[in-house]
Amino acid sequence: MAITRATGPDGVAKPNSTGITVIVIGLGYAGCVAAVECHRKGHTVIVFEQAPEIKALGDVIGITGNAAQVISKWGDGKVQDQLEPFLCDYARQNIHNSKGELLVSHTMLGYSAGSGYAANRGDMAVVFYHHVKELGIEVHLGKRVTEYFETQEEAGVIVDGKRWSADCVLACDGVHSKARGFIIGKSDSPHSTGYAIYRAWINGEEALKDPDLAWLLEGDRDKMETFIGAETHCIVGTGRRCKDIVWTCTHRDVYDITESWSFPGKIEDALKVVEGWDPRIAKVMKKTPEKQLVDYKLLWRDPLPGWVSTHGRMMLVGDSAHPFLPTSGQGAGQAVEDAATVAICLELAGKRRIPLALRTSEKIRYARATLAQKIGIETRDAWHKTDWEAVKKNPKLLEMPRPAWLFGHDPQEYAYEEFATAALAVLTGDDEYVPRNVPPPGQSHRTGDFSGKKMKAWKVAHPEAKL
């Protein structure tokens, strides 16, 4: 199969050199990375985002090493340098029962500074957005897409009555995706998982003055303390190297999905959820400014048979294709992998074979993203429906998996290596195609064997990092 000239995993093409125009919908993590990576591979990018501005608000989000190494290359490491002040430096995750008794403790390698990115989701989003603008990518904020269209020759959107046409459209518009219905050809609303999550953050400078919070701010490494109980788990920790306190609490959802997917949180309601738990949790909750507490409904969409439209010129990317639960620790990471992969597949397939590019990207990514989703469900159930007899025999059952096949993967290197094989499977309709970016049959996907040794790209950008 003839493949167009490639820049390689670390390469950057001349701007607008491929002749391919890509419309990106949404400027969350998936959208930002799709815009930057498509630009880096020589495609012309136009972005539409319905929010009028990108704000630095929120709690902590993690981008594990498999995806962080993609970002580490941006601006020859400049973007990573900008992220450094915001990064959390976790030593370990300590998992307790609801009374505060320690059950198991494990390393946070893959998330911590030097092997991954964990930071305030708003701060990191703003850094990403600024890089998009610095590259000169065309961005339209405060613009809602009202219609989508696709033919065999083009795809596009209608915004404010204007028709925008491109070679392809990447729908990075999240779990509430409006593009999803058009792309999969049927109405598909998100539904509740049965759970919601309180998310909150507290300024560390104020917290330092409070003896009730001192236990969180001791030392120079960030903390992540997880407490598990029936149908509930809480995570209390710090961010930016003990400069902030963050906490989340996943709990049963009592609101109907038609009401809203996000509510201003109430401290009194959060306290009821942890009544009788380790008193340190309630003390943290009581110190939280109520304006910095939100109750998010954890929504789910059933797995799709595919992510690409009928004519192969539109594709779902990130949460619009495969929403993740917070217990996966992979929602943002898998969105980054999606975006980096499709940018490469477009480069390799070329302007005349856009449908092949998108379908090959899906072929490369589908099984991996689906398995990563499964991890989140399994971990949530391990924490919410705990088999305590089994845990007594093996406390490691409560650990968040940190498998080498997931954390140590280089999605860009793999995309270049796998493109020809995956593309041939698309062209021949080979349903027996087996990707190499998942564990082989019979091997457990829930392991803790990530060592950091495969972090080539990170080490190049940060040779002094100690993994």
- Mean pLDDT (whole number) for 447-462: 61
pLDDT over 90, % of the chain:
63
CA-CA distances (angstroms) from residue 170 to 56, 309, 407?
24, 11, 25
Under 8 Å between Cβ of 63 and 125: no
- Highest mean pLDDT range out of 106-110, 350-354, 450-454, 460-464? 350-354
For the chain, the residue count is 467
Residues in contact with 370: Cβ distance below 8 Å, sequence separation at least 6, in sequence order: 303, 322
pLDDT tens profile 300-339: 777 788 999 999 999 999 999 998 888 888 999 999 999 9
Instruction: Give yes or no for residue 455 having a pLDDT over 60.
Output: no
Separation CA 345–CA 357 (nearest Å): 5
Separation CA 320–CA 318 (nearest Å): 5
Give the model's pLDDT for residue 57. Answer: 63
pLDDT band at 5 (very low <50, low <70, confident <90, very high): low
- Mean pLDDT (whole number) for 423-440: 94
- Mean pLDDT (whole number) for 185-202: 82
Instruction: Classify residue 304 by its DSSP letter.
Output: P
Give the model's pLDDT for residue 56. Answer: 61
Give the model's pLDDT for residue 72. Answer: 94
Give the model's pLDDT for residue 465. Answer: 44
Give the model's pLDDT for residue 417. Answer: 96
pLDDT tens profile 375-420: 988 998 899 999 999 999 999 999 999 999 999 999 999 999 999 9
pLDDT tens profile 283-305: 999 999 888 898 888 877 777 88
- Mean pLDDT (whole number) for 197-203: 88
The string of DSSP codes covering 408-442 is T--HHHHHHHHHHHHHHHHHHT-TT---SSSPPTT
pLDDT tens profile 157-186: 999 999 999 999 999 998 888 899 899 887
Give the model's pLDDT for residue 461. Answer: 44
Locate 278 and state its tokens: 């380790």
Give the model's pLDDT for residue 256. Answer: 55
Locate 191 and state its tokens: 């539904």
Under 8 Å between Cβ of 460 and 413: no
The CATH number of the structural domain formed by 191-300 is 3.30.9.30
Residue ranges matching CATH 3.30.9.30 in the chain: 191-300
Residue ranges matching CATH 3.50.50.60 in the chain: 21-85+117-189+302-457
Please tell me which residue, 9 or 466, carries the higher pLDDT value.
9
Give the model's pLDDT for residue 308. Answer: 97
Locate 82 and state its tokens: 């900008």
Separation CA 181–CA 201 (nearest Å): 35
Instruction: Give yes or no for residue 4 having a pLDDT over 80.
Output: no
* H or E stretch covering 38: helix 29-40
- Rg (Cα) of the chain, in Å, rounded? 22
Instruction: Give yes or no for residue 15 having a pLDDT over 90.
Output: yes
CA 390 to chain CA mean position, Å: 31
* H or E stretch covering 334: helix 331-349
The answer to which of 324-333, 337-346, 359-368 has the lowest mean pLDDT is 324-333
User: Quick one: 34 exposed, middle or buried, by C-beta within 10 A (0-12, 13-18, 19+)?
Assistant: buried
- Mean pLDDT (whole number) for 435-446: 91
Instruction: Give yes or no for residue 454 having a pLDDT over 70.
Output: no
pLDDT over 70, % of the chain:
92
Give the model's pLDDT for residue 453. Answer: 58
pLDDT tens profile 37-87: 999 999 999 999 999 988 766 668 889 999 999 999 999 999 999 999 889
The closest of 457, 417, 463 to 436, measured between CA atoms, is 417
What average pLDDT is seen over the chain? Answer: 89
* Residue of 199, 240, 353, 368 marked catalytic: 199
Instruction: Give yes or no for residue 266 having a pLDDT over 50.
Output: yes
Locate 38 and state its tokens: 């498509």
Active site residue 365: no
Q: Which CATH architecture describes the domain 21-85+117-189+302-457? A: 3-Layer(bba) Sandwich (3.50)
